[in-house]
Structure 1
Amino acid sequence: MGVEDAADLAGTPDGFGRLWVPHRMAYIGGENKDGCPFCRAPGLSDADGLIVARGTTAFVLLNLYPYNGGHVLVCPYRHVADYTELTTDEVAEIAELTRTAMTVLREVSGPAGFNLGMNQGAIAGAGIAAHLHQHVVPRWAGDANFLPIVGQTRALPELLADTRDRLAAAWPGREDD
């Protein structure tokens, strides 16, 4: 097999480098979308569900496809799509868990700021529109680099399980797994 044959197998060289992220195929192919992952997670161990903390009406878990290291989601246990459908207790606990997540993330990883938000409906960008979830995304100076724009991927400094363990260990009043 000559060089030309190898180029045909690997694609035509175009001057661009490639950053391969084969783990993303699970997301693209729809794995982990059977049923609601936010309804499924509380039935797993905290480590397996990437759950950082559990409240009475809501819980905190790591985003499986994070924008940045430490990106957590605050979800009600109840399968509800719209913020206006939450009970007063759910609104209060989601707010309190969001505040605590910010405090813990500051302690553990020292971000310079946060993006907080809910995408309500698929048209608004919700990947899982049927189950409301609040994003808490820690931000650092210079964390937005060329990778998301050019490579359509993000570089994360540690495994999700390790991030979950560090956040869970720092969560106030949390008992060990």
Structure 2
Amino acid sequence: MPDATAVPDETAVPDETAVPDAGPELVDARLLVGEPDGLQRLWTPHRMVYIEGENKPSDDAAGPGCPFCRIPSLPDEEGLVVARGGVAFVALNLYPYNSGHLLVCPYRHVADYTDLTDEEVAEVATLTRTAMRVLREVSHPHGFNLGMNQGDVAGAGIAAHLHQHVVPRWNGDANFLPVIARTRALPELLADTRARLAAGWPTGPDDGGMIAP
């Protein structure tokens, strides 16, 4: 019987005639359906959560079922509200792309940008500008992404209540962690980010400051 405690001879010459394990049988891709187009594919199955509408409102109606209608009724800390204007408000995104990702929303439940009143258009613009100024002062980003996705097909998470994104960007903030680990790394808790931005927000209404809605 072989000695189970024996140490393998590291000087032994491997048997070159042995056939290695070939692993699973491979199929020639040329035998499959499709035309090569020169592109590589990066599969992201976790995106199905978004595509299938998980955590989205069940309908387009205004009211407590719409997060952007519900947030203004909450205390600032609970709703992650950074600033309140006369017809619009600013809140942190609960699912931020980056730390400090803000949303500028009208109080009124409206989906299409062209349906905003002149007052709403003006205040959304003013709050967006102030958000950039405050983020620059507090967080020192290298740039911003500003955008408003109009409609489900355009990528709007909640299309029934329009919202403007203000996303601070830093050099090197994009990586593969969200793809390979379904995780986005954020250096600060949302409550702490909200408190810092709210503290840095100006108080004068003419400069996008906080006033009673």
Same fold (TM over 0.5): yes
Matched, 1:56 2:56: no
Deviations 1:25-63 (A, max 9, x none): xxx752787710000000000111100000001000000
Higher relative helix content: 1
Q: Secondary structure at the match of 1:161?
A: helix
Deviations 1:39-90 (A, max 9, x none): 0000000111100000001000000000000000000000000000000000
Distance 1:116 1:51 in 2: 19
Are the counterparts in 1 of residues 83 and 91 from structure 2 also a CA contact under 8 Å? yes
Distance 1:97 1:31 in 2: 25
Structure 1 residues 26-175: aligned runs within 5 Å: 29-30=54-55, 35-173=65-203
Are the counterparts in 1 of residues 57 and 158 from structure 2 also a CA contact under 8 Å? no
CA radius of gyration, larger in? 2
Q: Secondary structure at the match of 2:111?
A: coil
TM-score relative to the length of structure 1: 0.80
TM-score relative to the length of structure 2: 0.67
One-letter identity of the residue aligned with 1:127: G
Distance 2:97 2:114 in 1: 26
Are the counterparts in 1 of residues 147 and 166 from structure 2 also a CA contact under 8 Å? yes
Q: Give, in angstroms, the shift of residue 152 of structure 1.
A: 2.9
Aligned-residue CA RMSD (Å)? 1.8
Distance 2:57 2:138 in 1: 28
Distance 1:113 1:105 in 2: 10
**Structure 2: tracts of 5 or more residues without a match:** 1-48, 59-63, 204-208
**Identity percentage of aligned residues:** 74
Deviations 1:113-140 (A, max 9, x none): 0000000000100010000000000000
**Structure 1: tracts of 5 or more residues without a match:** 1-23
Q: Secondary structure at the match of 1:169?
A: helix
One-letter identity of the residue aligned with 1:41: I
